[in-house]
Amino acid sequence: MGMTMTQKILAAHAGLDHVEAGQLIEAKLDVVMANDITGPMAVPVFNQMADKVFDKEKVVLVPDHFTPNKDIKSAENSKSIREFAKNQGLTHYYEVGQMGIEHAILPEKGITVAGECIIGADSHTCTYGALGAFSTGVGTTDIATGMATGELWFKVPSAIKFVLTGTPSRYVSGKDIIIHIIGRIGVDGALYKSMEFTGDGIQSLTMDDRFTMANMAIEAGAKNGIFIVDERAKAYMKEHSGKSYTIYEADEDAAYDEVVEVDLAKVRPTVAFPHLPGNAKTIDEIEAMEPIRIDQVVIGSCTNGRMEDMRRAAAVLEGQKVHPDVRVMIIPATQKIYKQCIREGLVDIFIDAGCAFNTPSCGPCMGGHMGVLAAGEKCVSTTNRNFVGRMGHVDSLIYLASPEVAAASAIAGYIANPEKAGDR
């Protein structure tokens, strides 16, 4: 029996010719990453195991969750990994002023490329599968082990094959597609499996679309998400990275637990209602309901804080005004994106519309800062999770959406169709 893309990567990193689903292996790591929440917990464990990291080029620390530091505890956490990075001589440490959200800055800096085996102490580490890498989130003890040894044990996952066909319509992006998929298979539909994206439809998806979709693979319970490597992915890596990479393609006789076909032309703008990313409703279903009034909009995060997301939101907001009852936070994912927004005039569009334009940070995504919700408040957010209490009070409500739906809703004051944003 043949192997999937993920299985081939794991076999290569374990020094094996062949692996099968369920097999336990020990694989060599190309990148080990942690942030200002998970890093401080991993450092004491690491100190019990080793004096030096296995490779100062391959261990990456990014303070992004509570930065700029919101309180004394977050300041102490950032200080601990800052000192660790300095003492270890780490090449890749990105502090406030030059940093970005970890899952946006690593590809942007060319740290992650196709064919690599990557772990991160953050569940959305699966983002790098957009480049054809195996990347997955792990716990802090595993991160400490990875930093010390450069190796980690894995159970080889089985896979679901997603065959994408067609071309998405004007207001449908990667966020709509992945919420649509999670809505179909459920939040545990890919539990400890690899979500492998193939098909001619991929050529119509930008790299930012793919990063968004791979990012949210974990919201279906997946071990990882991974895309085939095409010319667009190669061009991205050529632009951003000087590292060599390896392209792994699934064997024709690779075994899949399931094959799911998705016609992108039929996907509509889609919103995940509280309190699960799989509680998907199309904009058509929403328009048939009573208007869902909102208090806040967040556009940013490791899911939708990239340049294309900024452009999509700005295109809807240009010449418009945010509803007087709505607060809007725009958070570009990296400093490079921040500067590009300035150069393209997007910052003026956002501020003139009545939005707050903020420094790169995870911010309100997981109730950190820069937009925490009060009891009873409703938020349309381009982030990745809408669990109870995720962005603040347990009685607040989060609706996950694309940047365009979020921008249209900011103008309307309720969850709105971006196709009709110009009608208001």
- The pLDDT tens digits along the chain (424 residues) read 899 999 999 999 999 999 999 999 999 999 999 999 999 999 999 999 999 999 999 999 999 899 898 899 999 999 999 999 999 999 999 988 888 999 999 999 999 999 999 999 999 999 999 999 999 999 999 999 999 999 999 999 999 999 999 999 999 999 999 999 999 999 999 999 999 999 999 999 999 999 999 999 999 999 999 999 999 999 999 999 999 999 999 999 999 999 999 999 999 999 999 999 999 999 999 999 999 999 999 999 999 999 999 999 999 999 999 999 999 999 999 999 999 999 999 999 999 999 999 999 988 988 888 899 999 999 999 999 999 889 899 999 999 999 999 999 999 999 999 987 655 4
SS3 content of the chain, % helix, strand, coil (to 5): 40, 20, 40
Predicted pLDDT at 1? 81
Amino acid at 96: V
Residue 392, number of CB atoms within 10 A of its CB: 20
pTM for the model stands at 0.94
Token pair for 139: 């716990």
Per residue in 75-134, pLDDT tens?
A: 999 999 999 999 999 999 998 888 899 999 999 999 999 999 999 999 999 999 999 999
Instruction: Reduce the DSSP state of residue 364 to 3 states and report it.
Output: helix
Query: CB of 193 within 8 A of CB of 159?
Result: yes
How many Å apart are CA 131 and CA 124, to the nearest integer?
Answer: 14
Strands (E), 179-279: 193-198, 224-227, 258-263, 270-272
Residue with tokens 């609706």: 399
Please state the separation of Cα 51 from the chain's center in Å: 32
